[in-house]
Amino acid sequence: MDAPRRRRGCRQKIPSLRDELGRRDNLKMGGSVSCFKSKNKYMIKPKYFLYARKSTEEDDRQVMSIDAQLFELRELARKENFEILEEFQESKSAKTPGREVFGEMMARVEQNDGVGILAWHPDRLARNSIDGGRIIYAVDTRKVVSLRFPTFWFEPTPQGLFMLQVAFGQSKYYSDNLAENIKRGIRQKLRRGEWLNLAPFGYKNNPRTHNIEPHPTEARIVRLAFEEYPKGTHSFISLGQFLADLGVVSRNGTPLAKASIKRLLTNKAYLGFIKHGDEWFDGSFEPIISPQLFSAVEKVLKTKERPRKRKARHDFPFTGLFRCDECQSMISAQWATGKSGLRYRYYRCSKKRGVCSQSYVQEYFLAEQIKERLKTISLCDVYTDWMLNKVTEFEREEVSVSQSEVKNLSNNVKANDARMEKLVSTYLDGDIAKEMYLTKKDSLMRSTLALKERMKDFERGRNNWVEPLRNWILDLKQANFLSTSNDFHEIKSFVQKIGTNYLVRDKSTRFEISPPSQFVAERRYLLPTPAPTARGIHSLSEREVSICGMFWTKFETISSKIQMIKTNNADSAGRSNLSGVSDSPCLG
């Protein structure tokens, strides 16, 4: 049998036994191993991006972290003969996405093909699922063909990629667990009354007790500042100069600013309290000043505080309500002084849309027109109280009826579920055709949905028309009260609630109201005048009862029409349209 031919132009080096043993020794001694190489570029060594990161942005914390990482990574690159394209350094936590330098490096990675990343550990690259997934996706798409870590390695297999995901998951778990442990430690320190961070001015940290204690010199200066300020001889500036003479200055060597002086005089830590978030807690350390001295300083601060004076706003109740019927501009208002020296409020067109011929109208006449309109849609308390009592009786009846109805509807839903199960079983046995099965299934689903909707209505304890009817009667009662009131702001709020399309033309106001209220306005003359209470009658006559019943019957009819329209729209356009239909009876 002939020996296999060597392919022309292709030479393959067979590794010797010495090379294989050397490679195994390197693994046993903790040497780093390449993550993986692309099949197309097996003989091409990738170029690397070097990334180093520390968690804090403060320059005085973890100062040696990045320098130590850079030294180790550069030494590894020198030993392995790696070519470093660019170095990226960052001082930011990786717990949440949004690192600028990391994003810049990944953008460079995505622009190139077949590059590598050199980092100290996977937790330097990512401690959250988004950044970790971004790296893993770059590995899957062969944008990254090699990942090198001096302390971590894995093989280019599905198991290796899984272990990389585990490493990122462990990094995230460490970060999340560390946050919970820190919060638990803070809660425990608060329970023990221990200070949480660096001691404020006047105290010093005691590493032995994990708490703070008064500073021998600074505590006396703080106490002296609190004793001097209540005398009333110092301002913030002079007290800052007084402290500067005692050696208490800012970082720039200048006296403390006014904001710093006020912060010192209002710091409750000198009373022995600890602040965490927006809440103060009792501390177990020694206070510097007494509560009496702190209260004396507070009193002086309150007397010297000068809150910013705000310009008083004019009191124009009906602005923002009416529009000019001629030019559709909003109605504005202004003060006017009469010949007697009295001041009056006048409303006029703002003329923001051009020339307008409408003149001024005094507020008194404007309010009188609105109150006259409210009288037409109001009922006296005798009628409204009688109607409210009837509504309460209706509600009790609805609750009792609803309980039995809910039970019946629940039984119907269960029956439909049983029919659905039987239908599915019949279809699976092949006894009915698919088209008939789908038709019956759709019918049962619609029936069950309608039953559940009715159950929701009954479970609310009343039918859909009872609560709107009560609110409408209360509106009639409030209109009767406001028709004789001079609280213009309350009148404006009520008109905004019951009306629409508020217009003024030729010093006359008009606005539209809901159909039930309009029905009352058209038939209010049928009720006797004066009211029954004025005639000494404590019960309504049969005629008055019939008229009041006619009012809520009309309301119920309008509400039923609105409900029917909503139901028809739901059947034709789907349930998604129900969210755009209002339950208010004010719809025409």
Contact (CB, 8 A) for 366 and 347? yes
Helix (H, G, I), strand (E, B) or coil at 358: coil
- Which ranges of 115-274 does DSSP label H, i.e. alpha helix? 122-125, 129-140, 158-192, 218-228, 236-245, 258-265
The answer to whether the beta carbons of residues 51 and 118 sit under 8 Å apart is yes
| Distance between CA atoms of residues 218 and 247, nearest Å | 10
CA distance 234 to 529: 74
pTM given for the model: 0.39
Q: Is 332 helix (H, G, I), strand (E, B) or coil?
A: strand
CA–CA distance from 173 to each of 52, 65, 95, 180 (Å)? 21, 21, 10, 11
DSSP reduced 3-state for 471: helix
Q: Going from the N-terminus, what domains does the chain have, and what CATH number goes with each?
A: 29-178 (3.40.50.1390), 203-304 (3.90.1750.20), 381-482+514-579 (no CATH)
CA dist., res. 178 & res. 107, Å (int): 30
| pLDDT on residue 309 | 62
Q: Are 514 and 585 in contact (CB under 8 A)?
A: yes
Which residue type does 449 have?
L
| Paired tokens of 560 | 């039923």
Per-residue pLDDT of the chain (588 residues; tens, 9 = 90+): 444 444 433 344 444 434 544 444 444 444 444 444 444 444 467 889 999 988 776 655 554 578 888 888 888 888 888 889 889 998 888 888 888 899 999 999 888 888 888 888 888 888 888 888 888 888 888 888 888 888 776 666 677 777 777 777 777 777 777 778 788 888 888 888 889 889 999 999 998 988 999 999 999 999 999 998 988 788 889 999 999 998 999 988 899 999 999 999 999 889 888 888 877 888 888 889 888 888 889 888 888 776 666 666 677 888 888 999 999 999 898 888 878 888 888 899 988 888 899 988 988 899 999 999 898 888 888 888 888 888 887 777 766 666 777 788 888 888 988 888 888 888 888 888 888 888 888 788 878 877 877 777 666 555 566 777 788 888 888 888 898 888 888 999 899 888 889 999 998 998 988 887 887 888 777 776 555 554 444 456 666 666 666 665 655 565 555 455 444 544 444 333 333 333 333 322
Q: What DSSP letter does each residue of 28-97 carry, written as one string?
A: HTT--------STTTTSPPEEEEEEEES---TTSSHHHHHHHHHHHHHHHHHHTPEEEEEEEEES-SSSS
Which structure tokens are listed for 322? 């009416």
Residues with Cβ within 8 Å of residue 516, at least 6 apart in sequence: 472, 551, 554, 555, 558, 585
- 3-state DSSP call for residue 395? helix
Q: What is the pLDDT of residue 536?
A: 42
Q: How far is 492 from 21, CA to CA, in rounded Å? A: 93
The pLDDT score that the predictor gives to residue 24 is 45
